[in-house]
């Protein structure tokens, strides 16, 4: 129940709107009951052929309740849907605001398809909190009280009977159907999440699945998930039909027992035939708001499960947070790394082990080493995607933990080997770096990045993940972005690793041109054009094993020289 209380706390600002919608829902059902009662009165009374004037009250009642029911129904739908959409908007914004600080460190344990399921379907299912969980029980309770007073006028026994059958319809049937459907809603949600993950893997990895002959296995897994979901949905449909039938039986049972209780009163004159007709239709109409109640517990179970899945992510403590009083980014861009160590959560092996080095403002250095040496981990620590386990990274003499993470990332331009382009236009992908940039600014950046042909294609779609563009074009757009960012520090993390030789040389020349006067840290395992760097730091197994300029390192019989000879010997062959 703790999850339910937390979820209802999120919609607390809309309490009075929800209460108003529930009251109007009660007025709608009450108007329906009134319409049937007055209609029954007119039909029964007219059968006795009374003077027309005696039917005027009933005729007015039919007109009033007929119009009121339509008006109240429209108002109830308008208000309830408006509240529901506001709640969904609030939940989505709340979830994004909460999840954004967790990326990327705290989200690495989740698959992208599973995250998508939580962001879209789990939040969408929470719309039931009001429309199918909180609202219907209140409406049913008010209708039950109304019928208690109406029947109490004629007979206390009849009032007790309607209360008894309403209790069975409002509590007994929902509890029974909940017991029968226990786990069904959660199972359907889990199958949907599994299908989401499998479908995303299929779309993104269809080439690899075909290449290694795993397509039949993957499709079989999708079919299995779909089969399991359909079986649960069939079971759910049967249970829904059962609870509607049970509610109908209770309605008939209430009608028979109440008539049985009231018929003896006809002989005494306490109840006449017309009143008995009116009561009959009123009892039948009073069960309408009880029909959705069995679904309430089912949706409650699904909402609690969805809430637990969301809170599983949101309860995680962000890896990095902004300090209470963040320092402004310094004009001095000197970087100092002191005894830096880092171990990933759940691992006992240090990814970085007591690194110490410095980078002067405007200096160009290269950090090289084989895969697994800890180079990309160092990038993540520079960008404060993770906090350091031991030691520190300082810029301008201030520990980077004293800066607002967003300010830090705004002043460090990063180009990685996997440039991510959104499924938007080139313009939208560029203005991520500078939201206020003009078209002229965008064209200048594209031209400087070697994409002068793209200046007339700002509104062309890049495709999913930018796949309409070649690898070199995607990297050049990344270069254009860092040009727009105008950051004093640049980090190139394997920025040319996936490019062919010609494109790699062109991109490297462009990067060298735009990094003039800026601090540049190039992280790579490919030793090309190393002579251009002021200093080279060699890493292996998380440690610095050597450093110096290219000529010095080549004179030593160390890792750098072995990597150089191996790579260049392969190229010659």
- CA pair distance 77, 321, nearest whole angstrom: 43
Would you say residue 284 lies in a domain? yes
- Based on the domain organization, do 297 and 369 belong to the same domain? no
Confidence of residue 532 (pLDDT cuts 50, 70, 90): confident
Mean residue pLDDT of the chain comes to 84
Structure-model confidence comparison of residues 261 and 134, the more confident one: 261
- Based on the domain organization, do 166 and 305 belong to the same domain? yes
Element (H, E) at 355: strand 352-359
Would you say residue 326 lies in a domain? no
What is the β-pairing status of strands 489-493 and 519-524? parallel
Phi-psi region of 213 (alpha: psi -120 to 50; beta: other; left: phi over 0): left
Would you say residue 330 lies in a domain? no
Residues 6+ apart with CB under 8 A from 190: none
pLDDT exceeds 50 at position 573:
no
Q: Of 258, 284, 314, which residue is a domain's last? A: 314
Q: Report the pLDDT value the prediction gives residue 358, as an integer from 0 to 100.
A: 93
Query: Over pLDDT 90: what percentage of the chain?
Result: 21
- pTM: predicted TM-score of the whole model, two decimal places: 0.67
- CA pair distance 143, 29, nearest whole angstrom: 7
Q: Of 314, 349, 381, which residue is a domain's last? A: 314
pLDDT tens, 182-233? 878 778 878 888 888 888 888 878 888 888 888 999 999 999 999 999 998 8
- Based on the domain organization, do 516 and 557 belong to the same domain? yes
Would you say residue 40 lies in a domain? yes
Confidence of residue 130 (pLDDT cuts 50, 70, 90): low
Confidence of residue 420 (pLDDT cuts 50, 70, 90): confident
CATH of the domain at 456: 3.40.50.300
Phi-psi region of 268 (alpha: psi -120 to 50; beta: other; left: phi over 0): alpha
DSSP 494: S
Q: Report the pLDDT value the prediction gives residue 1, as an integer from 0 to 100.
A: 64
Would you say residue 234 lies in a domain? yes
Residue 26 Cα distances to 68, 73, 136, angstroms: 12, 10, 9
Q: Give the number of other CB atoms < 10 A from CB of residue 334.
A: 16
Residues 6+ apart with CB under 8 A from 484: 430, 431, 433, 434, 437, 441, 442, 445
Would you say residue 323 lies in a domain? no
- Based on the domain organization, do 308 and 451 belong to the same domain? no
CA 506 from centroid of its chain's CA atoms:
40
Would you say residue 328 lies in a domain? no
pLDDT exceeds 70 at position 81:
yes
Residues 6+ apart with CB under 8 A from 297: 174, 175, 177, 178
pLDDT tens, 469-518? 887 788 888 888 988 988 999 998 887 766 667 767 777 777 777 788 88
Q: Report the pLDDT value the prediction gives residue 33, as an integer from 0 to 100.
A: 86
b/e code 35-71 from CB counts within 10 Å (16+ = b): bbbbbbbbebbeeeeeeeeeeeebeebbeebbebbee
pLDDT tens, 274-331? 888 888 888 888 888 888 887 777 777 777 777 787 888 777 777 788 888 999 999 9
- Based on the domain organization, do 42 and 161 belong to the same domain? yes
In SS3 terms, 443-470 reads as HHHHHHCCCHHHHHCCCCECCHHHCCCC
pLDDT tens, 334-343? 999 999 999 9
- Based on the domain organization, do 422 and 533 belong to the same domain? yes
Residues 6+ apart with CB under 8 A from 380: 386
- Based on the domain organization, do 373 and 492 belong to the same domain? yes
- Domain span at residue 82 reads 2-314
Domain count, the chain: 2
Would you say residue 308 lies in a domain? yes
- Based on the domain organization, do 295 and 344 belong to the same domain? no
Q: Of 314, 346, 361, which residue is a domain's last? A: 314
- Based on the domain organization, do 237 and 88 belong to the same domain? yes
What is the β-pairing status of strands 390-395 and 364-368? unpaired
Q: Report the pLDDT value the prediction gives residue 521, as an integer from 0 to 100.
A: 92
- Based on the domain organization, do 50 and 198 belong to the same domain? yes
- Based on the domain organization, do 359 and 475 belong to the same domain? yes
Adjacency order of strands within the sheet including 489-493? 412-416, 489-493, 519-524, 364-368, 535-540, 543-548
- Based on the domain organization, do 306 and 340 belong to the same domain? no
Confidence of residue 519 (pLDDT cuts 50, 70, 90): very high
- CA pair distance 501, 480, nearest whole angstrom: 21
Average pLDDT over residues 411-418: 86
* Range with the poorest average pLDDT among 106-120, 434-448, 537-551: 106-120
CATH of the domain at 252: 1.20.1560.10
């Amino acid at each position: 129940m703790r999850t339910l209380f937390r979820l209802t706390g999120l919609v607390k600002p809309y309490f009075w709107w929800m209460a108003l919608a529930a009251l109007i829902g009660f007025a709608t059902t009450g108007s329906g009951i009134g319409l049937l009662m007055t209609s029954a009165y007119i039909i029964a009374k007219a059968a006795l052929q009374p003077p027309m004037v005696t039917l005027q009250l009933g005729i007015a009642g039919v007109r009033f309740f007929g119009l009121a029911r339509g008006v109240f129904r429209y108002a109830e739908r308008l208000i309830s849907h408006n509240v529901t959409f506001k709640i969904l908007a609030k939940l989505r914004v709340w979830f994004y605001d909460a999840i954004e600080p967790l990326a990327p460190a705290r989200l690495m344990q989740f698959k992208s398809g599973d995250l998508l399921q939580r962001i879209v379907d789990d939040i969408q299912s929470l719309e039931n909190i009001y429309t199918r969980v909180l609202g219907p029980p209140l409406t049913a309770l008010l209708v039950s009280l109304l019928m208690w007073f109406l029947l109490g006028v004629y007979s206390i026994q009849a009032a007790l009977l309607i209360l008894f059958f309403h209790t069975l319809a409002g509590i007994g049937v929902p509890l029974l159907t909940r017991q029968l459907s226990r786990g069904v809603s959660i199972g359907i949600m889990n199958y949907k999440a599994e299908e989401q993950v499998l479908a995303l893997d299929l779309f993104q990895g269809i080439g690899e699945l075909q290449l290694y002959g795993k397509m039949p296995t993957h499709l079989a897994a999708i079919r299995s998930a779909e089969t399991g979901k359909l079986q649960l949905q069939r079971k759910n449909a049967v249970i829904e039909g059962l609870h509607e039938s049970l509610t109908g039986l209770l309605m008939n049972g209430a009608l028979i027992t109440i008539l049985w209780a009231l018929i003896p009163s006809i002989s005494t004159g306490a109840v006449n035939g017309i009143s008995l007709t009116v009561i009959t239709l009123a009892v039948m109409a009073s069960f309408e708001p009880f029909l959705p109640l069995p679904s309430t517990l089912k949706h409650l179970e699904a909402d609690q499960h969805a809430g637990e899945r969301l809170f599983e992510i949101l309860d995680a403590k962000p890896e990095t947070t902004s300090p209470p009083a963040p320092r402004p980014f310094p004009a001095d861009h000197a970087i100092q790394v002191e005894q830096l160590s880092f171990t990933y959560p759940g691992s006992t092996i240090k990814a970085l082990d007591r690194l110490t080095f410095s980078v002067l403002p405007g200096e160009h250095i290269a950090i090289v080493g084989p895969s697994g040496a800890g180079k990309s981990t160092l990038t993540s620590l520079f960008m404060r995607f993770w906090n350091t386990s031991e030691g520190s990274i300082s810029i301008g003499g201030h520990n980077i933990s004293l800066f607002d993470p967003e300010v830090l990332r705004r002043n460090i331009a990063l180009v990685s080997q996997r440039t991510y382009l959104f499924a938007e236009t080139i313009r939208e992908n560029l203005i991520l770096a500078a939201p206020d940039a003009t078209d002229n600014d965008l064209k200048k950046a594209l031209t400087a990045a070697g994409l002068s042909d793209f200046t007339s294609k700002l509104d062309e779609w890049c495709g999913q993940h930018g796949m309409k563009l070649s690898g070199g074009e995607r990297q050049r757009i990344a270069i254009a972005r860092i040009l727009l960012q105008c950051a004093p520090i640049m980090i190139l993390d394997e920025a040319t690793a996936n490019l062919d030789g010609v494109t790699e040389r062109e991109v490297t020349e462009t990067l060298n041109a735009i990094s003039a006067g800026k601090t540049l840290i190039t992280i790579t395992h490919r030793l090309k054009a190393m002579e251009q760097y002021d200093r080279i730091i060699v890493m292996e197994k998380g440690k610095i094993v050597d450093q110096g300029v290219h000529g010095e390192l080549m004179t030593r019989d160390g890792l750098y020289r072995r990597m150089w000879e191996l790579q260049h010997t392969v190229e010659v062959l």
